Amino acid sequence: MRASRVLIYSHDTFGLGHLRRSRTIANALAGTGEVEAVIVSGSAVVDRFAFARGVSAVRVPGVTKRPDGSYAGLDPQVPLPETVARRADIVLRTARDFRPDLLIVDKEPTGFHGEMLATLEHLRARDCRVVLGLRDVLDAPELLAPEWERKGSSEAVRSFYDEIWVYGLSRIHRPLAALPVGADFADRTTYTGYLRRAAPPPRPDRAEPGVAAEPFILVTAGGGGDGDGLIDWVISAYEADPGIPLPALVAFGPFLAPESRAAFLARIARIGRNVSAITFDSEIELLMEKASGVVAMGGYNTFCEILSFDKRAVLVPRTTPRREQEIRATAAESLGLARTVLEADGRDPARMAAALRALPDQARPSRANIPDLLGGLDRIAERVRALNAAAPALALGDRA
């Protein structure tokens, strides 16, 4: 029997979150030996990640978010509508060539600027099963509902999707509660639990900074495009309190602005050996596994890693333009999974220094004893098998 074919769409307009989540799911499914997976991604760094056997990636032209919230293609000579048209064409051609049994769409039901609609129509005609995969938190309800209305997301979910998978737990957040499809899809929504991460085998040529040989705090800003505040606050803490017991390793992220990176490196050089920095590590799980504690913004993937490696963590969530990280971090603190420090209360170096000093004595996330917290990948594999087994009963023409 041939392997089931799974196509995963990851729009990737900003940061690394969508690609890393899609890669985790694809690698886990391919690892069962029952699935062949293709990821369609707009990430500019997709070729810097390793994929499991049976997983490949197709890149579409990248786009980026401007400071005012609008988008532009990475190639300034190409108008955005033309970039979207090129992306849509690549996605559709990939779907036609790959002929998937299952399509998993990450977060955006219609794709970036509606670029998935033609592919959804095509796959609907050949009875491919279609699933919308959502991280645990999308945004504050009062912001999410009008966004979905503007994009036609609710209508697309009703027209094209068989199931919704929420990669989290309902006791932490219910992302569809404020949306019109919430009640309609209640019986087709699965809360999978978070996606367990494992440290990959290190590359033969892997080199790590010297600080990783001793106890240290990993400070990660994810992709780094919006990590200036977190990095500045941590560096300020070490500038104000040179006696913080554990040194920090700051991972800037590949999208931190070059001028910000240069300014931070100059400050780090003045501090001395208590703080060091790297730009990017595609195997950051290896550093996470070694770290004595973690300071992070609280994006979805980093949160999964903190839980998976059972790391004491201080979360410093961003609150604009989305409140996603703040909602997740606040819920995590209430359940005893992490400590949350909000910039809204003032970026006082002494307050961050106190959090860094207390970090080694925090309770680990496992002490919270939350059932099914990290069952996401197993649950997803179960749903893929169930959808494949029920394929004849899922004719898209019969959908509500």
Do 218 and 335 reside in the same domain of the chain?
yes
Handedness of CA 224, 226, 228, 233 (dihedral sign): negative
Name the percent of the chain lying above pLDDT 90. 69
Q: Which of 20, 100, 35 is nearest to 380 (CA)?
A: 35
Residue 107 located in a structural domain: yes
Residues 311 and 166 in one domain: no
Residues 311 and 378 in one domain: no
Does residue 165 share a domain with residue 126? yes
Same domain? 141 vs 221: no
* Residue appearing with tokens 């569809």: 176
Say if residue 26 is in the same domain as residue 146.
yes
Q: Is the bond preceding 321 in cis, omega lying within 30 degrees of 0?
A: yes
Host domain of residue 347: 210-368
CA atoms lying within 13 Å on the CB side of residue 225: 15
Enter the DSSP assignment of 224.
S
Per DSSP bridges, beta strands 163-167 and 189-191 are: parallel
Strand pairing category for 71-73 and 63-65? antiparallel
pLDDT digits (tens, 9 = 90+) for 210-236: 999 999 999 998 877 788 999 999 999
255 lies in the same domain as 137:
no
CATH of the domain at 39: 3.40.50.2000
In a domain, 296, yes or no: yes
pLDDT in tens, 178-189: 887 877 888 899
pLDDT of residue 106: 95
Same domain, 169 and 219: no
Same domain, 307 and 351: yes
The sign of the dihedral angle between the CA atoms of 61, 39, 137, 161 is positive
Residues of the chain with pLDDT under 50: 393-400
Query: 99 and 179 share a domain?
Result: yes
Q: 205 lies in a domain?
A: no
Is the same domain home to 51 and 179? yes
Total domains in the chain come to 2
pTM equals 0.90
Give the pLDDT of residue 392.
53
27: Cα separation from own chain's centroid:
15
Residue 18 placed within a domain: yes
Predicted confidence at residue 226, as pLDDT, reads 82
